[in-house]
Structure formats: structure tokens, C-alpha cells
Amino acid sequence: MGDLEVRDLGRRPYLEVHQLQQELLQQRVEDRIPDTLLLVEHEEVVTLGRSSPEGDASDTGLPVVSIERGGEATWHGPGQLVAYPILKLPEQRRDLHRYLRDLEEVVIRVLADHGIEGSRVEGLTGVWIGKKKVCSLGVAVRRWVTWHGLALNVDADLAAFRRFRPCGLDPDVMTNLKAHAGRPVTPAGVRESLERHFRAIFRSGI
């Protein structure tokens, strides 16, 4: 599976990182860089995937950006760990449904590290804790190179989700890791776990 470069970007504006993703995507398509995993927290923003209804999230009072990933509207902001894999999927893994399930598995294992049982919901993407959604997924692929990715609510303020229908769902369905961990937890404290499980799943060659 080759090398994996991991870049911890700290906290960055969404559009800055979106531009970086586009640059890295093209470089990976051309085999000028290895597979790359970006880890970041964003300043507050709502992004609209390709399935978002017209005008969705227009009344949030937050910046709204339409992007290329699948899915509907979601929020990014402080307290949420976002992972953007720029991966060239090998021939044996060129199945987007499998790719989404593998991303979910990364998060399920991260939750397990905190003593929390994560699960999937039939017909929906993302990871859930009971009936609450803790992680949203939205991806895009160009020439079998992935971009966009997953957003795990760690200790994010959930009030922002109540300004619209995240992923087309009732806002009250959203939760964060902190609410279930029974102790303080931060995105910085989760990064090592996420990177470790990401490597285990995507660098195994399976």
C-alpha cells in the first residue's frame, strides 16, 4: 500500500483546506505525492454536498459553501476532528461502498478506545452511538483518488446543528464524543487514535 503522509493542520478556515485538498488531489492523481491524510479543525462553516436541497442552511448566520462531496448539509467548527484522506485506491479496493464502510470502521474503533460502542444505521452513512449520530461522512473521488472525508464531533458545541437539518436529519440526533466518554476529551486527544486505526485499516493491504 506504500507510504502514508499525515499532516496535522491544527485549526484552519474551510476554504483554505479545500484548496489544499484540490492541490493534493491533482498531485496524487499524477503520482507526485504519496497517499496523504489531513487532520484539521475548522472555523465555523456549513458545507452543502451534492444532495443538498436548494437554499438549504441559508438562514444559519454562518458561512455556507457548496462542495463536491456526496450527502447534504453539515457543520464544521471547533471541537470537531475532520479527516481528509487523499488516497489512491488500489484496484482491489475500488468500491465506494466499501470505502465508506472502512471510514466508519475507523471511527467505530476510535470510539471503542474510549469505551463507547459505535454502530452503523442501515441506509445511512456515518457512525452512531445508540440513536445519536456522532460522525458524518461525505466523500468524492477523481480517477480513484479520494478526497473530502469524515467529521467526528469530539467536544463540539452541538447548538450549531440546530440551525438547519444536518444531513437532512432532525438536529437533535447529533451528539459528540464528550457526552458519552464520561471524561474530558478533545480533538487533539483523539488524533493519535484516529491515525492509528486509519493506518490499520487502509495500510493493511487487505
Q: Any idea which residues carry the catalytic annotation?
A: 167
105-115 CB burial, b ≥16 within 10 A, e <16:
bbbbbbbeebe
Q: How far apart are CA 27 and CA 90, in angstroms?
A: 16
Which residues does residue 85 pair with via DSSP β-bridges, in sequence order? 37
Are the CB atoms for 34 and 199 separated by under 8 Å? no
Q: How far apart are CA 65 and CA 49, in angstroms?
A: 9
